[in-house]
Structure 1
Amino acid sequence: MMSQSRCWAAILIAVLCCGCRPEAPRGEARLKTTPVKGIVEVDGKPALNVSVKFIADGSSSDIARPALATTNEKGAFAVSTYVAEDGLPDGDYVLTFVWEEAISLNPTKKDQLKGAYSDPKKSKHKVTVIQGTPIDMGVIALSTTGAGK
């Protein structure tokens, strides 16, 4: 009986792993990507755990959902679309930034940037990706007192 349980466990693991392949979501073709990286500084200092979202600007990109990146302790990020740090497909993108409290017992975490960079319609941060041309966005300077200040 024990060996039958192990067999079922192995089948379950195999089935679950099939869903973990680095492919595009169902119905979406996996597009070629180009590496995109940068550094986020807030008030002149590297910022840890800033969520950077790359949203297709109009119809210039065939990506169906935003790509994401999160900054490390040096403020550095590399964009992930399908797998870690694979970059973005060709197109124009608008960036948004949210910096939630790193450690908090409060279930309603607050954006330390006070929402100043979270609206894609108001974003001044954009990037154009051309296949085969890796992009280093350099330092992106943000402020806790709001956008453009």
Structure 2
Amino acid sequence: MLSFSRTLRRHGLFLLVLCLCCAGCGEEGPYRKVTVPVTGQLLVDGKPPGTPVQITCHSLTGIDQEHPTFSKTVSGENGTFAISTYESGDGVPAGEYAVTFEWKTLNLVSMGYSGPDKLKGKYNDPDTSDVKFTITEDSEPIDLGTIELTTE
């Protein structure tokens, strides 16, 4: 019985060491592009919106088929924003972008935005957006400044 117990401990120790070695092997995680912070502030009819405005970046050169990304955020009540790709406020990968804005109501049941756009669809077409920017991998953080939108 004593020999069985020693063998079991030895095999258990071997399995533990094997598991720890395997845990350190392999990929470090999913591929992530370098991102550059992009920030700004929105005013609607001359004042902060008070409720979140959805902000989306649209690639002007098309979606990267091998490593697609989607960069977006919502503004704070005071209109400030920091665009996110992988995690909150991390920024946007290299590329040319047009920015769109939609101001809908947060639906607490679905935890999504729904209802009519309070901006009446004036800012949700990337082809007609006046807000555009370009990022290279060595770009400094970009401040889009104050962006003024109207409900009229």
TM-score, normalised on structure 1? 0.70
Q: Deviations over 1:78-137 (max 9, x none)?
A: 0100011100111110100000135789x9511000001111122121111133410111
Are residue 133 (structure 1) and residue 137 (structure 2) matched?
Answer: no
Tell me which amino acid in the other structure corresponds to 1:54: C
Tell me which amino acid in the other structure corresponds to 2:149: L
Are residue 96 (structure 1) and residue 100 (structure 2) matched?
Answer: yes
Query: Which structure 1 residue ranges, 5 or more long, are not aligned?
Result: 1-22
- Which is greater in Rg? 2
Indicate conservation of the 8 Å contact 1:55/1:65, yes or no.
no
**1:1-149 correspondence to structure 2 within 5 Å:** 29-47=31-49, 48-59=51-62, 62=64, 64-102=68-106, 108-131=114-137, 132-145=139-152
Aligned length: 117
Q: Deviations over 1:21-46 (max 9, x none)?
A: xx65xxxx310001110001111011
Indicate conservation of the 8 Å contact 2:73/2:84, yes or no.
yes
Query: Which structure 2 residue ranges, 5 or more long, are not aligned?
Result: 1-28
Tell me which amino acid in the other structure corresponds to 1:49: P
Tell me which amino acid in the other structure corresponds to 1:94: A
State the distance in 1 between where 2:78 and 2:40 align.
10
Tell me which amino acid in the other structure corresponds to 2:127: K
Percentage identity across aligned positions? 38
State the distance in 2 between where 1:103 and 1:88 align.
27
Question: What root-mean-square deviation, in Å, do the aligned CA atoms of Structure 1 and Structure 2 show?
Answer: 2.3
Q: Deviations over 1:44-75 (max 9, x none)?
A: 0112300000011115x746243111100110
